[in-house]
């Protein structure tokens, strides 16, 4: 007796493996997160994120041109603002001449086809490093939503294709959608960070933007757990994603990536909009550190992780590996 089905026949060589491969990866799947700093000619290395930099607008635009040539069609923008512009209201976030607004305009002028998705959250603008306005030691939801809506409209005015609220306040998607519509920005999309977990994987990112919660002379929450999600929860993530779609989100995101692929699949099955995944700074830094030690093959691990994120259901992968992965894929 011999087996009628020999599954290994479909693994015989790379040609047949590629022919029957269920999941594919391309540079068009990627979104590249970029950190922008004040000044000109600035390129500051981020020690906890090897290969990543804070660049001034001129350097950011040059990098965007290189990404476009590699086939990457979307960027996610974060800014590091000067300390003297930070307060507890976040008002610099909707300054029409602010760093974010100037960056959006510069990118769209240089590479009109690049999809620009600026981050919408108050932590880069907050003296306390929180995503919301603080009163009496608490993050105030509705006042923060008002600020986020003003911020989103200013991004749309600057030329953003999508706004990307990452704050996890309740009701902000509906408020932002209504704000965009009432100001005539009917075609500006919303990519909502719907299932953003309170994760320790964000550490290097907070170094990059100096956006970790700060010690203060007034009472402030010591962490972001009153608004970011408990990583023990699954059903909550599905509920958050469905709520955001009903409120007008065009894309929903799960963040972080590799440790949350079960959530990615469940959200993908629950909604009828594209699902984005953010492979975050800690995930990136761990691969870089292990590769530097010679413990892992950098490129093989990078490509395996990206493929696994795509396989789990991601339509878009926001990753610091985007440029390196695109170079490999283009070969």
CB pairs under 8 A, 24+ apart, for 247-250?
247/171, 247/173, 247/174, 247/177, 248/173, 248/174, 248/176, 248/177, 248/190, 249/173, 249/177, 249/190, 249/191, 249/192, 249/194, 249/273, 250/162, 250/189, 250/190, 250/191, 250/274
Cα angle for residues 159, 163, 165 (degrees, 5° grid): 155
Is 240 labelled a binding residue? Answer: yes
Distance CA 93, CA 81 (A): 10
Residue 91: active-site member: no
The catalytic residue among 255, 268, 288, 310 is 255
Residue 196: active-site member: yes
The catalytic residue among 196, 268, 310, 323 is 196
As annotated, the active-site residues are: 196, 255
Annotated binding site for Mg(2+), which residues? 240
Annotated binding site, which residues? 240
């Amino acid at each position: 007796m011999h087996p009628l089905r020999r599954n290994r026949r479909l693994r015989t060589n790379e040609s047949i493996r590629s022919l029957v491969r269920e999941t594919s990866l391309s540079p068009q799947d990627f979104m590249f997160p970029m950190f922008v700093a004040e000044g000109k000619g600035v390129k500051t290395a981020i020690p906890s994120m090897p290969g990543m930099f804070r660049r001034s607008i001129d350097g950011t635009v040059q990098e965007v041109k290189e990404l476009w040539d590699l086939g990457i069609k979307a960027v996610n923008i974060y800014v590091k603002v000067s300390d003297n512009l930070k307060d507890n209201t976040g008002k610099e976030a909707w300054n029409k001449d602010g760093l974010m607004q100037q960056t959006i305009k510069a990118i769209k002028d240089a590479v009109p086809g690049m999809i620009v998705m600026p981050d919408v959250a108050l932590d880069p603008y907050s003296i306390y490093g929180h995503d919301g306005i603080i009163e009496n030691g608490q993050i105030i939801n509705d006042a923060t939503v008002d600020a986020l809506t003003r911020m989103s409209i200013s991004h749309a005015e600057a030329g953003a294709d999508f706004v990307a609220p990452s704050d996890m306040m309740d009701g902000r998607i509906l408020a932002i959608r209504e704000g965009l519509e009432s100001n005539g920005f009917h075609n500006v999309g919303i990519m909502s960070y719907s299932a953003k977990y309170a994760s320790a994987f964000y550490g290097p990112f907070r170094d990059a933007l100096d956006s970790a919660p700060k010690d203060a002379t007034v009472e402030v929450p010591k962490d972001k757990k009153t608004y970011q999600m408990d990583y023990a929860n699954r059903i909550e993530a599905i509920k958050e994603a469905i709520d955001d779609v009903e409120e007008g989100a065009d894309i929903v995101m799960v963040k972080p990536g590799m440790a949350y692929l079960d959530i990615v699949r469940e959200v993908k099955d629950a909604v009828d909009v594209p699902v984005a995944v953010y492979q975050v700074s800690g995930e990136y830094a761990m691969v870089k550190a292990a590769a530097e030690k010679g413990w892992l093959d950098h490129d093989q691990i990078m490509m395996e992780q990206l493929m696994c994120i795509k396989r789990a259901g991601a339509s878009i992968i926001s990753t610091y590996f985007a440029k390196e992965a695109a170079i490999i894929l283009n070969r």
